[in-house]
Structure 1
């Protein structure tokens, strides 16, 4: 999908070549009354310029037709050679194979995340998701954004080039098999259309939408978005907190991976825990001593979120522990507790 508009040049060149062949056959049959096989023969010898000569002497009308036909074919051949040269020497052919390979890979994806729009918000979401090991498919209309990101990072980006509001584009990105979709398009109306389309194609997908206007939040939620994020509003609050609560912001930056001392938030479901730890109380789990990480919350199956849960609470099936620690501490914790 990346090279669709360049691929159209190749299709046009082939179409012109086919038109040239057909017009030659029809012209020789009508003007010189050649049989079909004779017309094909004369057309091929004229196109290839091998100069075998005429089967029968041409009439004046036939000579005029051949003169125009040769000139037309010179233009067609020049254009075809130009396109083929571009594809071979400028890497277009390699990009076509890469595009085909990417499309085949996306068809095999399941449980991935789709990010619509690769601007500032979309690219940040993509890099954070990739850093956490998620499979991501980008949907973007501006090919140059993806090309620049690929050249800068060297990362192979799985991408679908097209309009994210179109059903076919989201299907090409595997929306029916995706677990989440993030839409960060610049226009709120486009994000509403994406949310509507994605929810219709996959009722179980989690949708996170960007909004510029406060009035768009309710519309996005009605359209099927699970959460709406307003970057401008968040940015303003962040700047205000830098004045009134600077240390809180510093701690938040650490959790968000923006500060020099990065912390990591992680979640661990009851079903993911090793059997020997299931049924233990938070005190008996002793996560702090074993790994250095801290339990900062417990989301119960009822949906209630307990912050700094009591040490005597025993996580139940469908509960989820929320954990905080350094990358090393979280890695150590998961190695000990996750099945």
Structure 2
């Protein structure tokens, strides 16, 4: 059981203990002493609170024994309740529970967001990049301490603490309305389970999963993952390329770096452009001269990918343009060409 849930259950348990104690006292005084409901309630309250006011009527021997045991039991209940309330008041648990409640209310309204399962090295990096692109994110992580390193200053990141393999938690994260899920859990078996569960709950979402072993790749795809990423294999290839093709790697690092020299790859769908631009040829668009950005690829209606497409090629419905440029060049393209 998660620690935060345990504390909430302790609070609820303390409340019901008080209620049960009150009912026991009222019923006990009525049966043993023949008190009316009002008299029994009064006796219960002064006994629990140990205020020491005078009894309504002198107690019988059975009544005194009952009151003695009732007092002893209630001393334990009151002590437990006070400790729980102290925890909530001085450790900020009430504020934390309220914050989690509002967080989950906000997530329920999300559609088209991205769920990231696991906030380790891979998950936190993916989260930062997605936030930089303006995506709404819900992160699921079992270790709440990792959230201390979450990107600050962006309200679009919502965090849920728990096991991402739990169906209920995925539903609370809005998996049925999400557009994509990234699973970066340390164990391959957990990533397979998350992919299988998410695909069952949302057949249309895009699922990207991390794998450590090559044998897991096909299992993840059978479970429903669209893409499988193997960080160790990618890292090894990257190190080898630094020896065989160092300048190519330096260029690629410009795409993932920071600062004024950072380059951007932009994916532009044809229906994002002004209506009067959609039937023009690549030469007529004159992207290079007008914006400084370079068209390096074109996906023709999802069936064919063309690298450095011919200038006379005319754009068609469903085409996706891949642009390369600086931040300023991409912003200029957006201003001139977007509808």
Q: Which runs of 5+ in 2 are unaligned?
A: none
Is 1:164–2:145 an aligned residue pair?
Answer: no
TM-fit CA distance, 1:24: 2.2
Question: TM-score, normalized by length of structure 2?
Answer: 0.93
TM-fit CA distance, 1:56: 2.2
- Give the equivalent residue in structure 2 for 1:131: 132
- 3-state SS in 2 of match to 1:192: helix
Is 1:233–2:230 an aligned residue pair?
Answer: no
TM-fit CA distance, 1:260: 7.5
Distance 1:300 1:172 in 2: 37
List structure 1 segments (4+ residues) > 4 angstroms apart after TM superposition.
Answer: none
Deviates more, 1:202-211 or 1:297-306: 297-306
Distance 2:142 2:54 in 1: 52
Distance 1:250 1:130 in 2: 25
- Give the equivalent residue in structure 1 for 2:94: 93
Distance 2:153 2:289 in 1: 40
Deviates more, 1:93-102 or 1:209-218: 93-102
- 3-state SS in 1 of match to 2:67: helix
- Give the equivalent residue in structure 2 for 1:153: 152
- Give the equivalent residue in structure 1 for 2:320: 320
Distance 2:286 2:11 in 1: 65
Is 1:257–2:257 an aligned residue pair?
Answer: yes
- 3-state SS in 2 of match to 1:199: helix
What pairs up with 1:44-55 in 2 under 5 angstroms?
44-55=45-56
- Give the equivalent residue in structure 2 for 1:278: 278
Distance 2:163 2:58 in 1: 56
- Give the equivalent residue in structure 1 for 2:79: 78
Distance 1:161 1:28 in 2: 46
- 3-state SS in 2 of match to 1:175: coil
Distance 2:212 2:25 in 1: 58
Question: TM-score, normalized by length of structure 1?
Answer: 0.93
Deviates more, 1:22-31 or 1:312-321: 22-31
1:158-216 residue CA offsets vs partner (Å, 9 max, x unmatched): 12222212221111111111100001111111111111111111110000001111000
Distance 1:178 1:302 in 2: 22
TM-fit CA distance, 1:120: 1.1
Does structure 2 conserve the Cα–Cα contact (< 8 Å) formed by 1:250 and 1:259? no
What pairs up with 1:168-317 in 2 under 5 angstroms?
168-257=168-257, 261-317=261-317
Does structure 2 conserve the Cα–Cα contact (< 8 Å) formed by 1:115 and 1:181? yes
TM-fit CA distance, 1:259: 7.9
- 3-state SS in 2 of match to 1:158: strand
Q: Cα RMSD between the aligned structures?
A: 2.0
TM-fit CA distance, 1:39: 2.6
